[in-house]
């Protein structure tokens, strides 16, 4: 049995980007640990959603534990930093925000968990945090350093396959409305360097098609952020499986020749 630690910035990130890998690892009998840098206090929430006097961060903690149970997670930990908000917002300068955290200090907190768990695998984000969110970029920086401090043998950057996204968007007319298509990023134009990475940088593609319903169920746990009518949940089953049935990772200790098949197992040497 191996131990895999998944490090994320905010509640709900875990299910969107790595939920299938987490559920698959748990189903295979491995120990799965989820670490969140923040409680997601600055997430957007509809008016009237929270109970009177209820803090969003506390609601999102509850949602995280519900999602973790669906995914088969064995342990959930929060590092205790404050959500920094999107780039260029006031939250970027907020007290105790993760974006401003000392990397060595934050990495030491994560490394303590990695060492305690004798983690075999740590997942973080790519160097742009997937889409440029400050806390996601900080997950990359802190996670890399924590892996070094703890001597974790496998560190993988969860990312998005930009080329696959382009292919999916081109095929999406079968199951998306014109309004939904209009909301898609222009990955061959102005948004080309914003989302994910080019396919050639990716080493691992984990097939999680057998766990897409588990992944979707975990998304439903985060109702403060993902409403039932939201894009992720409103997609037809076929479209959801196409968009979320593979999870992508970059490993710096593995190489994949141009055009060669992707590696598929985060635990393989």
Give the start-to-end residue ranges of the domains of the chain: 3-251
Instruction: Provide the CB-side half-sphere exposure for 208 (13 A, CA).
Output: 31
Over residues 204-233, the mean pLDDT reads 93
Q: What is the largest CA-CA distance in the chain?
A: 56
Question: Which CATH architecture is the domain 3-251 placed in?
Answer: 3-Layer(aba) Sandwich (3.40)
Among 2, 85, 26, which Cα is nearest to 14's?
A: 26
How many percent of the chain have pLDDT more than 70? 92
Mean pLDDT of 38-61: 94
> Residue 218 is encoded by which pair of tokens?
């975990």
pLDDT value of residue 203: 97
Residue 110: Cβ-neighbour burial (10 angstroms; 0-12, 13-18, 19+): buried
DSSP 109-165: HHHHHHHHHT-SEEEEE-TTTTT--HHHHHHHHHHHHHHHHHT-SEEEEEE-BHHHH
Residue 190, pLDDT > 90, answer no
- Residue 64: the pLDDT is 98
- Judged on CB neighbours under 10 Å (0-12, 13-18, 19+), 226 is buried
């Amino acid at each position: 049995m191996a131990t895999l630690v998944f490090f994320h910035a905010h509640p709900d990130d875990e299910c969107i980007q790595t939920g299938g890998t987490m559920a698959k690892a748990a189903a295979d009998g491995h120990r799965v640990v989820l670490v969140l840098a923040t409680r997601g206090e600055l997430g957007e929430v509809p008016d009237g959603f929270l109970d009177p006097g209820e803090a969003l961060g506390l609601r999102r903690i509850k949602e995280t534990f519900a999602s973790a149970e669906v995914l088969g997670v064995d342990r959930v930990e929060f590092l205790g930093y404050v959500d920094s908000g999107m780039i260029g917002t006031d939250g970027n300068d907020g007290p105790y925000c993760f974006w401003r955290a000392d990397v060595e200090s934050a990495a030491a907190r994560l490394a303590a968990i990695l060492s305690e768990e004798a983690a075999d695998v740590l997942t973080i984000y790519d160097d742009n945090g997937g889409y440029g969110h400050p806390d996601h970029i900080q997950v990359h920086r802190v996670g890399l350093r924590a892996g070094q401090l703890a001597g974790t043998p496998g560190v993988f950057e969860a990312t998005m396959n930009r080329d696959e996204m382009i292919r999916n968007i081109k095929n999406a007319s079968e199951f998306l409305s014109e309004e939904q298509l209009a909301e898609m990023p222009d990955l061959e134009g102005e948004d080309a360097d914003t989302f994910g990475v080019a396919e050639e940088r990716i080493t691992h593609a984990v097939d999680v098609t057998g766990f897409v319903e588990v992944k979707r169920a975990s998304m439903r746990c985060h109702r403060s952020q993902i409403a039932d009518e939201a894009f992720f949940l409103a997609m037809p089953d076929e479209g959801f499986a196409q968009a979320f049935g593979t999870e992508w990772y970059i490993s710096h200790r593995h190489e994949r020749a141009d055009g060669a098949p992707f590696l598929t197992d985060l635990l393989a040497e």
